């Protein structure tokens, strides 16, 4: 069973992709809906929240953990790897960086939360792999509450997207990395705001591909199982979230409420 976690419903974009690429995998998802958003919190708080969730996932005997949150990948990834040395971690930043660097892109925009953009993780990792790429980053803090509210299209999200991306055209951006797992829910709105010519990289898809690559290298030793069974745990499971999660996953799923110390 793979553990997957995020601050809220954003990591479900990663779950959806994992289910496409690895349909027989069992997934245990944790969304910290009681404490979302994480993206405007301090690294210490994001590390503490992430560690509490990983303690829970380890207690449930997951074989690996996908940090399905750019914010946690950026500011808590190293911390978690040190704190849980026996756990195999996948994050959502590295696969997106690999994708950017594998193609002929030289002017890249990265959008994310305040914590992700503030960490400079994408600039650093892209620069370490390829020196001649310019990275323009932009915090888009209002996108996460819009998604958690289920308000993903229409005049208000469009106006916010236009405002956020107004500087990209002058910079001749070729590709935009959705550096937050909540953002894929806004792709139609984002697409309209940036126009047709900018390519969009979805870190959720890149992460699922990286997991599949890793699984295929080990699969020979294991028997393939049947269609995966997934479990969904949330720290707040109000009727609003119930409805939204089912809409996102397009299936009837039962949700377990779990809680952590403040």
Could you say which of 70, 119, 189, 205 contacts ligand DGL (CB under 6 A)? Answer: 70
Q: How many CA atoms lie within 13 A of 198 on its CB side?
A: 26
105: left (phi over 0), alpha (psi -120 to 50) or beta: beta
Length of the chain: 262
Nearest to 23 by CA among 214, 218, 228: 228
**54, 140, 180, 203: which is the annotated catalytic residue?**
180
Under 8 Å CB-to-CB from 164, ≥6 apart: which residues?
111, 138, 140, 193
Nearest CB to ligand DGL, comparing residues 38 and 241: 38
List phi, psi (to 5°) of 78: -65, -40
| Whether 180 is catalytic | yes
Residues 141-180 that bind ligand DGL (CB under 6 A): 144, 180
Q: Which of 69, 140, 203, 233 is catalytic?
A: 69
Does position 205 interact with ligand DGL (CB under 6 A)? The reply is no
Contacts (CB under 6 A) with ligand DGL, residues 93-132: 112-113, 116
220 secondary structure, DSSP code: T
Quick one: which of 71, 119, 137, 205 contacts ligand DGL (CB under 6 A)? 71
Written as six digits, the tokens of 47 are 């590390």
Residue of 28, 69, 100, 244 that binds ligand DGL (CB under 6 A): 69
Q: Which is nearer to ligand DGL, 26 or 45 (CB)?
A: 45
Residues forming contacts to ligand DGL in the complex (CB under 6 A) are 6-8, 10, 36-39, 69-71, 112-113, 116, 144, 180-182
Catalytic residue IDs: 69, 180
């Amino acid at each position: 069973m793979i553990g997957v976690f995020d601050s809220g419903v954003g990591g479900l974009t990663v779950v959806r992709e994992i289910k496409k690429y690895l349909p027989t995998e069992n997934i245990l998802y944790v969304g910290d809906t009681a404490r979302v958003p994480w993206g405007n919190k301090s690294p210490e708080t994001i590390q503490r929240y992430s560690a509490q969730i990983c303690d829970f996932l380890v207690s449930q005997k997951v074989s690996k953990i996908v940090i399905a949150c750019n914010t946690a990948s950026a500011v808590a990834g190293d911390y978690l790897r040190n704190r849980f040395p026996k756990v195999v971690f996948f994050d959502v930043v590295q696969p997106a960086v690999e994708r950017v660097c594998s193609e002929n892109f030289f002017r890249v925009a990265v959008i994310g939360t305040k914590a992700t953009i503030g960490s400079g993780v994408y600039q650093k990792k892209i620069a370490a792999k390829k020196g001649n790429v310019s990275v323009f980053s932009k915090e888009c803090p209002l996108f996460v509450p819009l998604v958690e509210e289920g308000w993903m299209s229409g005049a208000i999200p469009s106006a916010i997207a236009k405002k956020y991306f107004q500087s990209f055209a002058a910079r001749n951006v070729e590709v935009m990395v959705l550096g937050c797992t909540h953002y894929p829910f806004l792709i139609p709105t984002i697409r309209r705001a940036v126009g047709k010519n900018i390519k969009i990289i979805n870190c959720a898809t890149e992460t699922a591909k990286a997991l599949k690559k890793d699984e295929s290298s080990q699969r020979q030793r294991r028997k393939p199982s049947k269609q995966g069974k997934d479990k969904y745990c949330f720290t707040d499971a109000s009727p609003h979230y119930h409805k939204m999660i089912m809409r996102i996953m397009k299936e009837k799923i039962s949700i377990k409420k779990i809680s952590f110390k403040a």
